[in-house]
Structures are given as C-alpha cells and as structure tokens.
Amino acid sequence: MAASVARVGRPLLGVAVFLAALAVWEAWARSKGSILVPPASSVVETAWEVWPTTDFLTGVGASLRRLAAGFAIGAGVGIGLGLVMGSSTRARRALEPLVEFCRAMPAIAIVPAAIVLLGLGDAMQITVIAFGLCFPVLVNTLAGVRAVSPEVRDTAAMLQVGALERIFRIYLPGALPSIVAGLRVAVSLGLVAVVISEFVGEGEGLGRYIRLQQTEFDVPAMYCGILFLGLLGYVLNRLFLVGERRVLSWHYGSVGEGVGR
C-alpha cells in the first residue's frame, strides 16, 4: 500500500513543483509590470490559442524531422567512432586529437561555416544538429567499450575472435548501457542545436517561430514557443526512458532495479 501511494505521489509532487514555479512567475511578472515579462497566465492563454494551429504544428513537425535526421547521423557517427576507438588502441591514439579538437567547439560556433558551405536550408541545419549531439554519444560509447573487463578481452584474444566479431558480440553489448546514456543526453543537446540552426536557417520550425515572435515584439507568443520547447523536451525524454527500460531490462534486472521504477 505504501509503495503504491509513493508511486502515485512522485508524479504529483513534480506537477505541484511545476505549478508552484508558474505561480512564482505569475507573481513576479505582475510585480514587475513590464511588457517584456508577461504573466504566466497570459503566456498559457496564448499557448492555448497558438499550439493547436496548423501553422504552429507544421513548424513543430519540421523541427522534429530535422532532429530525427540529425540524431540518426550524429548518433551513428558517434557510436561507430566510439566502438573503433574503444576497441583499438592504435585507432584511439590516431583519432583522439582530432576528436578532442572538434569536441571543444560548441555547435553554435560552426553555424557560420555551415551556412557558407551548405546554405541556409535543411542540409545546414541537420549538419549542425548532428555535430552538436555526436560527441556525447561518442564519449559514452568509448567509455563503455573501455569498461569491458580485461578478462573478457583476454579470453577473446585467446580464442582468436576477429576484430569485427569482438565489436558486435562483445564491445557493443557491453557498452550498450553507456551508449544509451549518451543517446539520452544527445536528445536534449539535439533540441538545443535545432533551435540554434533554425534561428538563422530557412523554413519553418520552432526556432524560426520563436525568433519571428521576438522580432515582432509579440512577447507572450515568444514565451509560449519557449514553453512548448520545454514541454517537447520533457516528452521526448520520457519516451526515451520508456524505450530505455525496455531495451535495457536485462541490465536493470542485473543491477537490482525494477523495470517500472
């Protein structure tokens, strides 16, 4: 009984904290009395009118398509390089300086170069997204492969297991929890890169919508776009957690965590 009450109480506590934050926002905005800080009630009212519209949902769909394409490319490159660097000392020594050099660059820093090379369309935006989320996946994959025990590595060498077979039958399964953790971080970073690229790129999108409302001084609409971005990030994170629990149910069972927790 106590466990059931606790399970129900956890999400309710989160909702209560969120509503409390909105209440603080409402009180602070009304005390400021500035058009630049609209009350939360005004933003929620605008969101109620804007979010269901076809134009807004079209922009959301465009952002999600770019995020999906950038995520697939960036995650694929990150996992591939992480597996190669983690399984081969020679490859790691050869690639590590370049990887660390590129990893130090924030995604926003490559936007001007991406515009010069690729223009303002989807190619530029997807490239920026893929670049921004590639490195957390790569670093987590590399860490997961290197965490494979020396005994397992020695056994594979003694049995003369080939390099590709080691990667797909030993290193990839062993690194999967770390890879999934990197992918989860990458989802949030991908949303950041989506907005950054859409601020300057062509076409519809959430970033474009927020930027347009800012230039037109429609402050409540601008905040309602930002609010939707936070809600979208929360929903994507929850969906990712559901998928993670299913894919890694064997892992959570082995470490003593229930799948439903």
Global pTM reads 0.85
pLDDT in tens, 136-182: 999 999 998 888 877 777 677 777 677 777 778 788 888 888 999 89
Residues of the chain with pLDDT under 70: 1-10, 154, 160, 250-261
pLDDT, position 197: 92
pLDDT, position 254: 53
Q: 154: closest CA among 170, 138, 142, 140?
A: 170
pLDDT in tens, 179-197: 998 999 999 899 999 999 9
Helices and strands: H and E segment counts in the chain: 12, 0
Query: Considering the domain 38-254, what is its CATH architecture?
Result: Orthogonal Bundle (1.10)
pLDDT, position 131: 94
Residue 126 and residue 134: Cα distance in Å, rounded? 12
